[in-house]
């Protein structure tokens, strides 16, 4: 593998210029600048809210200093609550070129687009001169998520991705799985897989938090449609999602923005702490992908049955399609046809190896289907978290 | 589709006591699980579960190598395993059913 070396020693598998808007009011300017660079590695991310939020600030800090990011342009309207100076300092301290353009101080929309465009062109040219260096699998962080699921996801795509996770983790990579609200009923089983009993207790508590959060939201997870598809119990449904995690030992429990300190399998707790304040934990799949990226995922495996098409800014998304019919209908969007398993044309181990090989190919620079189609979705909302407990991370000597 | 004489199923983990139908399977069809041939007792839809061997009342149902509930009655080899003969070991609030035997 090859990677782009950053000042802190981490390596990216892409060398992207990020344009970050710090308030919805600055989004149009950010998008217009990016339009000048269609087809090149210039991605737009941002935070739409005017009221400051420490989770959002931390997420933006981690995303602007993500391994795949080489340079950052911040676009501010000028009067929003976001701490743009603080963010610029963090990016500068990471050794990345950073520029802040305040629309109110740069002649408005047209003036800011002109200046921003010029800055991005210079940085993009500079980044294209950077020579990649060798990168080991031990330096790779892979996330996993499912969206647009159907009955096939838990039979083919998720367990195949679990097999791929087992292979990558055995080779030294870090893997992150998440959506604790969809793991209700699996917590004791997960606790048994935890590296220490203390970590196991933290995992049980975190799923318990998810259950009470969703209860407050009035959110039920088991529907009659699930039973029609052959699912008999809530824990069976959860196990289908949980199959993405494979069979490796769980070495840590992290929250958005925490980076896995070692290789191995990590559970990401995405449910806010404290009372229910900001609505649904993650309003769509890209909100989850943003959190996986903030934890350092270089790329994300995405299983789907009904057929999601999303990709992401910053980190490539690889689609593993569980339903063979969906694969035939949406071939250009899907990277892996895990539905072959249902039709007896492949087994789980075979598809697991294919997913693992594709992860490494995409890490080496091959474009995933969603990248080829130009998908660069991004969303970030309000949340609040307490820090993780002392038993949550492996002891690093 | 699978050309073999047996209907297509998937064993998700070696310790599982159920297999999952990869196609609509009619009563009387045969399936093969790790070398054993099993006769399916009733019609089973895609994604539904079939007992791999006899399961006693209150036995845990294992899928993905993990318990997904418990048998309400004796379930014979080849029988359809679903909401009529297993129940959640889990919280009532999520299945809408009281489950008093499973406290603690």
The pLDDT value given to residue A229: 76
> Which residue in A28, A5, A63, A129 sits closest to A290, CA to CA?
A63
* CATH of region A2-133: 3.40.50
> Measured between CB atoms, does A247 come within 8 Å of chain B?
yes
Q: Tell me phi and psi for residue B47, to 5 degrees.
A: 90, -5
Q: Residue ranges of the domains in chain B? A: 9-102
- Pairwise CB contact (< 8 Å): A342 & B22: yes
pLDDT higher at A380 or A230: A380
The pLDDT value given to residue A221: 63
pLDDT tens digits, A344-389:
899 999 999 999 999 999 999 999 999 999 999 999 999 999 999 9
Nearest CA to CA, how far is B19 from chain A (Å)? 10
Listed by number, the residues of chain B in 27-56 with a beta carbon closer than 8 Å to a beta carbon of chain A are: 45-49
- Write out the two tokens for A137: 């699998």
Q: Give the 3-state secondary structure of residue A281.
A: coil
Q: Which of A152, A159, A235 sits opposite B89 (nearest CB)?
A: A235
The pLDDT value given to residue A333: 98
- pLDDT band (50, 70, 90) for residue B4: low
Q: Quick check: A59 pLDDT over 70?
A: yes
Q: What is the DSSP string of A94-141?
A: TT--EEEEEGGGTTHHHHHHHHHHHHHHHHHHHHHTPPPEE--GGG-E
The pLDDT value given to residue A220: 60
The pLDDT value given to residue A219: 66
**Which of A177-186, A337-346, B50-59 has the lowest average pLDDT?**
A177-186
Q: Considering chain A, what percentage of its residues have pLDDT values greater than 70?
A: 98
Q: What is the ipTM of this complex?
A: 0.85
The pLDDT value given to residue A149: 80
Question: Which CATH architecture fits B9-102?
Answer: Roll (2.30)
Per-residue pLDDT, averaged over B6-21, amounts to 92
The pLDDT value given to residue A255: 97
pLDDT higher at A75 or B91: A75
Torsional sign, CA A340, A343, A345, A348 = positive
Q: What is the pTM of this model?
A: 0.90
Chain A positions touching B99 (Cβ under 8 A) are: none
CB-count burial class (<10 Å; 0-12, 13-18, 19+) for A60: buried
Per-residue pLDDT, averaged over A73-83, amounts to 97
The pLDDT value given to residue A238: 86
pLDDT tens digits, B35-85:
999 999 999 998 899 999 999 999 999 998 888 899 999 999 999 999 999
What whole-number distance in Å separates Cα of residue A48 and Cα of residue A310? 20
- Pairwise CB contact (< 8 Å): A231 & B47: yes
Rounded (10°) CA dihedral A357, A8, A21, A368: -10
C-alpha of A333 from chain center: 18
Measure the CA angle with vertex A158, ends B64 and A220; round to 5°. Answer: 85
The pLDDT value given to residue A237: 83
- Pairwise CB contact (< 8 Å): B64 & A159: yes
Torsional sign, CA A126, A132, A138, A140 = positive
pLDDT tens digits, A105-133:
999 999 999 999 999 999 999 999 999 99
């Amino acid at each position: 593998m090859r990677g782009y070396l950053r000042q802190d020693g981490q390596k990216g598998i892409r060398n992207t210029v990020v344009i970050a808007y710090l308030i919805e009011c600055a989004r149009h300017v950010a998008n217009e600048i990016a339009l000048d660079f269609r087809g090149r590695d210039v991605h737009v991310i941002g935070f739409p809210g005017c009221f400051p939020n420490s989770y959002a600030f931390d997420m933006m800090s981690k995303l602007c200093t993500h391994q795949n990011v080489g340079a950052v342009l911040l676009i501010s309207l000028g009067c929003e609550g976001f701490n743009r100076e603080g963010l610029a300092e963090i990016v500068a301290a990471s050794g990345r070129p950073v520029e802040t353009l305040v629309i109110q101080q740069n002649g408005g929309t047209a003036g800011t687009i002109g200046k921003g465009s010029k800055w991005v062109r210079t940085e993009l040219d500079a980044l294209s001169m950077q020579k990649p260096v060798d990168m080991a699998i031990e330096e790779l962080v892979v996330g996993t998520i499912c969206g647009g699921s159907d009955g096939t996801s838990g039979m083919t795509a998720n367990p195949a991705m679990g097999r791929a996770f087992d292979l990558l983790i055995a080779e030294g990579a870090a893997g992150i799985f998440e959506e604790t609200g969809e793991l209700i009923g699996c917590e004791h089983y997960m606790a048994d897989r935890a590296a220490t009993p203390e970590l196991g207790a933290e995992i049980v508590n975190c799923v318990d938090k998810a259950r009470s959060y969703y209860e407050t939201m009035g959110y039920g997870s088991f529907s009659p449609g699930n039973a029609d598809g052959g699912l008999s119990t809530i824990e069976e449904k959860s196990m289908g999602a949980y199959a993405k995690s494979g069979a490796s030992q769980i070495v840590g429990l992290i929250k958005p923005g925490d980076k896995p300190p070692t290789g191995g399998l990590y559970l990401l707790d995405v449910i806010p702490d404290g009372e229910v304040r900001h609505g649904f934990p993650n309003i769509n799949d890209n909100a989850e992908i943003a959190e996986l990226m903030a934890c350092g995922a270089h790329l994300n495996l995405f299983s789907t049955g009904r057929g999601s098409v999303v990709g992401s800014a910053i980190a490539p998304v690889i689609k593993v399609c569980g339903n063979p019919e969906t694969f035939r209908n949406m071939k250009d969007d899907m990277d892996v046809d895990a539905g072959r398993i249902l039709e007896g044309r492949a087994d789980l181990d075979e598809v697991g190896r294919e997913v693992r090989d594709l992860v490494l190919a995409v890490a080496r620079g091959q474009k995933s289907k969603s990248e080829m189609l130009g998908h660069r979705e991004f969303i970030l909302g309000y949340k609040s978290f307490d820090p993780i407990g002392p038993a949550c991370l492996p002891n690093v000597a | 589709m699978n050309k073999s004489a047996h209907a297509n199923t998937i064993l998700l983990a070696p310790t599982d006591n159920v297999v999952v139908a990869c196609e609509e399977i009619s009563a009387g069809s045969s399936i093969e699980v790790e070398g054993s041939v099993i006769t399916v007792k009733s019609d089973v839809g895609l994604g539904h579960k079939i007992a791999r061997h006899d399961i006693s009342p209150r036995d845990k149902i294992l899928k993905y190598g993990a318990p997904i509930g418990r048998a309400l009655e004796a379930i014979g080899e080849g029988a359809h395993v679903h909401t009529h003969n297993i129940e959640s070991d889990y919280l009532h609030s999520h299945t809408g059913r009281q489950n008093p035997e499973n406290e603690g």
